[in-house]
Amino acid sequence: MSLSPPKFLKEREENNSRFVEIQQPQTTSTAAEDPLQNLCLASQEVLQKAQQSGRSKCLKCGGSRMFYCYTCYVPVENVPMEQMPLVKLPLKIDIIKHPNETDGKSTAIHAKLLAPEFVNIYTYPCIPEYEEEDHEVALIFPGPKSVSIKDISFHLQKRIQNNVRGKNDDPDKPSSKRKKTEEQDLNDSKCKETTLKKIIFIDSTWNQTNKIFTDERLQGLLQVELKTRKTCFWRHQKGKPDTFLSTIEAIYYFLVDYHTDILKEKYKGQYDNLLFFYSFMYQLIKNAKCSGDKETRKITH
């Protein structure tokens, strides 16, 4: 059975426009108990039905999965694509997945399922070259050289100017001509739009990130650090602080901050549906732990 992606993507986009702002803010006490309660989400009835009916077939590979296929990046047969929300993003996202990262446990797939036109997933070492576009790409990764989201535009502009100076550094050209050319190019660069067009996330355990982070293809990219937030992830890495986010959490929080700090627009839940699967699983596992239902707790995909 084949699907027609353009048709379903259009239907999902129309449905998604009706889902934003349908939920009212919860009380502070409720938010403290469940930090995902304030989200403006599409109806999760389709996931509830799928959870009750159990595993279903992937329409591409035929594998038995729960909710979605983590190898084909598509929902399974009993989760119709048109009943899933479609999220529009302000930029492209590349996710670089460590080869030892378990596919079924990765939340990065949620982003690909819910924003398929904006998200690409690569398994290391097969990753793109970013050198030619380093003035419009950023790597989301903490470190001493990382900048805040609000300072992204400033640092991208500096990169353009440094590239101009490097291009005009020709020892055979008379100094007066080099200076004039450089001034003209710098003025032109100021007129260029220094918009971030793509962000890169590393999908792996924190103990595995170094191999990817130190790859020469990622060296020299602008590093951006997220504001400190606490994770809700049910597979929290042992021995790590609760500020270490899952991949989908990191993507979501980056976009929320980008929307307010860079786009200078009021956030009204435009990206909340990126947590469509995540919030459902969170609640399912939370309820299972409270009831002691070991079978329900095993949410395998």
User: What digits encode the pLDDT tens for the residues 217-248?
Assistant: 999 899 999 988 887 865 555 555 567 788 99
Cα separation of the two ends of the chain: 21
pLDDT at 210 over 80: yes
Domain boundaries, the chain: 40-84, 90-163+193-293
Give Cβ neighbours of residue 208 (< 8 Å, ≥ 6 apart): 98, 100, 101
Mean pLDDT of the 43-49 span: 96
* Beta bridge pairs of residue 122: 96
Of 20-24, 30-34, 52-56, give the range with the top mean pLDDT: 52-56
Mean pLDDT of the 34-63 span: 92
Angle ∠(9,14,15) on CA atoms, nearest 5: 95
- In terms of residues, how long is the chain? 301
Mean pLDDT of the 184-196 span: 54
Of residues 24 and 13, more confidence is placed in 13
pLDDT at 17 over 70: no
Of residues 82 and 185, more confidence is placed in 82
